Structure 1
Amino acid sequence: MTDATALDVALAYHRAWTGHDFEAAMQYVADDIVCQSPGGPIEGAEAFRGFMEPFSKILLESALLSAFGDETTALLMYDTRTVPVADAPGAELLTVHDGRITHLRIIFDRLPFTQAAAADAQ
């Protein structure tokens, strides 16, 4: 894994979690990952798992729209369809060292998820 570019790692991670194999996805995540999410910072692999794994479980499908990268940084943009939200686009900026994701900045619109949760609560 250490000879892989950041784009290679990012794509392998993305294929794993969107393919419903979260254990395989976590193989690409550093123990000390820092994730900047719309809800605030998430630090450490277990906290990251707690944030991302539930999303992977409600994912119905994902389409990768674009991917760019170099030796240490990758950028992915994708569309997702989930159980509560039909159209949930996202983007991730990933930093990779020694074949593991050490930093991930994820961007997505939280409002449709909040609205879906509120509608379910009624």
Structure 2
Amino acid sequence: MTSPALQIALAHHRAWTGKDVDAAMGYLADDVVCDAPAGRLVGVPAYREFLTPFAERFLIRAELIAAFGDDTTAMLMYDAETIPAKSAPAAECMTVRAGKIVYNRFVFDRTPFEEFRRRRAQGTS
């Protein structure tokens, strides 16, 4: 039996990786906090603004590598295939309360994206 936090985290992950950002937002608390490489995001509107372009325009697929959780915390690790990067490893550590994600520490390797930008700037996409 998977943990309550893991069930929520996996449902959120399936929604946004399936390009259903509206469904993904339904798993977030109104005052969700997300610490990501670009900085801290607070609230569903900021989270949506951060996630939507990636999920809808750049993500091709995501392969789940590992998922663990308990009553309040879930950890997902996956590899995202995107338009700019064939392999973009990422991990999310989420805190869940009352069936909603209240905190997400979202980390990913920015190197593949920086390489894409560098090649593009040089005209060698």
Q: Give the TM-score normalised by the residue count of structure 1.
A: 0.92
1:69 Cα deviation from its structure 2 partner: 0.4
The corresponding residue for 2:67 is 67
Is there any run of 5+ residues in structure 2 with no aligned partner, and where? none
The corresponding residue for 2:12 is 13
Q: Which amino acid aligns with 1:108?
A: F
Instruction: Output the CA distance in 1 between the equivalents of 2:100 and 2:52.
Output: 17
Matched, 1:26 2:14: no
Instruction: Output the CA distance in 2 between the equivalents of 1:60 and 1:8.
Output: 23
Instruction: Output the CA distance in 2 between the equivalents of 1:99 and 1:120.
Output: 42
Instruction: Output the CA distance in 2 between the equivalents of 1:119 and 1:43.
Output: 33
The corresponding residue for 1:110 is 110
1:107 Cα deviation from its structure 2 partner: 0.9
Instruction: Output the CA distance in 2 between the equivalents of 1:84 and 1:109.
Output: 13
Matched, 1:119 2:119: yes
Instruction: Output the CA distance in 2 between the equivalents of 1:110 and 1:65.
Output: 18
Task: Tell me the SS of whatever aligns to 1:11.
Answer: helix
1:106 Cα deviation from its structure 2 partner: 0.7
Matched, 1:36 2:39: no
Structure having greater relative contact order (Cα 8 Å, sep ≥ 6): 1
Q: Which amino acid aligns with 2:66?
A: S
Q: Which amino acid aligns with 2:80?
A: T
Please give the residue correspondences for 1:48-63 in structure 2 after superposition, counting only pairs within 5 Å. 48-57=47-56, 58-63=58-63
Off by >6 Å, runs of 4+ in structure 1: none
**Sequence identity percentage:** 50
1:119 Cα deviation from its structure 2 partner: 2.4
Is there any run of 5+ residues in structure 1 with no aligned partner, and where? none
Instruction: Output the CA distance in 1 between the equivalents of 2:89 and 2:26.
Output: 24
The corresponding residue for 2:83 is 83
The corresponding residue for 1:97 is 97
Q: Give the TM-score normalised by the residue count of structure 2.
A: 0.90
